[in-house]
């Protein structure tokens, strides 16, 4: 029975992972369709589409899924999608930014507000926490691409603003408006990046204990489970001990 129980748990977990993967693919496909609709369907001529395709490839979205999403844009799909940002506070006073893409603003606003409320948070007005973040371009490389000095030099020459290097890899920051140019220059020097995207980078953070992190993760998971939500960013900070326990 123990073996059966373990197998059932593994199957259940795999089912959840497959469902999450499918949901992620769907959200990335939506971004690709909208990006292609707003500009040229050729990624080389459309910086936003180029970034969307790169982000999709980074998580192994199949090429045929990407191509199909681009074709949808030319067939008129994606016309009704609107981009909207929600801001609020999560458990422990953590600032949370929710980026959504929807064809029904009332539905999305209601769902996001309800999710905040049910998970110990409060949805605020636009701008209520945005001042705690900066809009930045983020380019990520694996550690094997080179040492910190090599990456720093390449980043400076590419016009980046800052680099964070660790044993896990390198994160290169730049102005949001410079992301396409900086990422192109970096790839000419370091090769293809792991990811290239626009992010909300916290300028201040709130430290949480284990209980606070568990509550916050529950909120973030619930928000990300919404089909209309594209990305969730929070300005939390936690010790290595807390993260290990989590």
203 contacts 133 by C-beta, under 8 angstroms: yes
Give ranges for CATH 1.10.10.200 in the chain. Answer: 2-74
Do 124 and 130 touch, CB atoms closer than 8 A?
A: no
User: What stretch(es) of the chain map to CATH 3.30.70.980?
Assistant: 80-246
Q: Is the pLDDT of residue 8 over 70?
A: no
Does CATH number 1.10.3720.10 belong to domain 2-74?
no
Identify the pLDDT of residue 18: 60
Quote the pTM value: 0.83
What integer is the mean pLDDT of 219-240? 92
77 pLDDT above the threshold of 80: no
- Highest CATH level, class, for 80-246: alpha beta
pLDDT digits (tens, 9 = 90+) for 138-177: 999 999 999 999 999 999 999 999 999 999 899 999 999 9
């Amino acid at each position: 029975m123990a073996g059966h129980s373990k197998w059932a748990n593994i199957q259940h977990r795999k089912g959840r992972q497959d469902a999450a993967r499918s949901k992620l693919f769907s959200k990335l496909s939506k971004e690709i369709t909208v990006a292609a609709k707003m500009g040229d369907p050729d990624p080389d001529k459309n910086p936003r589409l180029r970034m969307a395709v790169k982000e999709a490839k980074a998580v192994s979205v199949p090429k045929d899924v990407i191509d199909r999403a681009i074709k949808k844009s030319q067939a008129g799909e994606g016309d009704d999608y609107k981009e909207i940002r929600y801001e609020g506070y999560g458990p422990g006073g953590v600032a949370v930014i929710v980026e959504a893409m929807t064809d029904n603003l009332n539905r999305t606003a209601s769902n996001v507000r309800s999710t905040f409320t049910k998970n110990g948070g409060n949805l605020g007005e636009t701008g209520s926490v945005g001042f705690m973040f900066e809009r930045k371009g983020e380019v990520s490389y694996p550690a094997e691409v080179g040492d910190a000095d090599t990456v720093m030099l390449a980043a400076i020459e590419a016009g980046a603003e800052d680099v964070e290097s660790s044993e896990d890899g390198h994160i290169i920051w730049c102005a949001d408006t410079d992301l396409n140019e900086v990422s192109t220059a970096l790839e000419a020097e370091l090769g293809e990046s792991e990811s290239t995207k626009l992010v909300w980078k916290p300028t201040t953070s709130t430290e949480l204990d284990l209980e606070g992190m568990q509550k916050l993760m529950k909120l973030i998971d619930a928000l990300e489970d919404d089909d209309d939500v594209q990305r969730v960013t929070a300005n939390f900070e936690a010790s290595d001990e807390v993260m290990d326990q989590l």
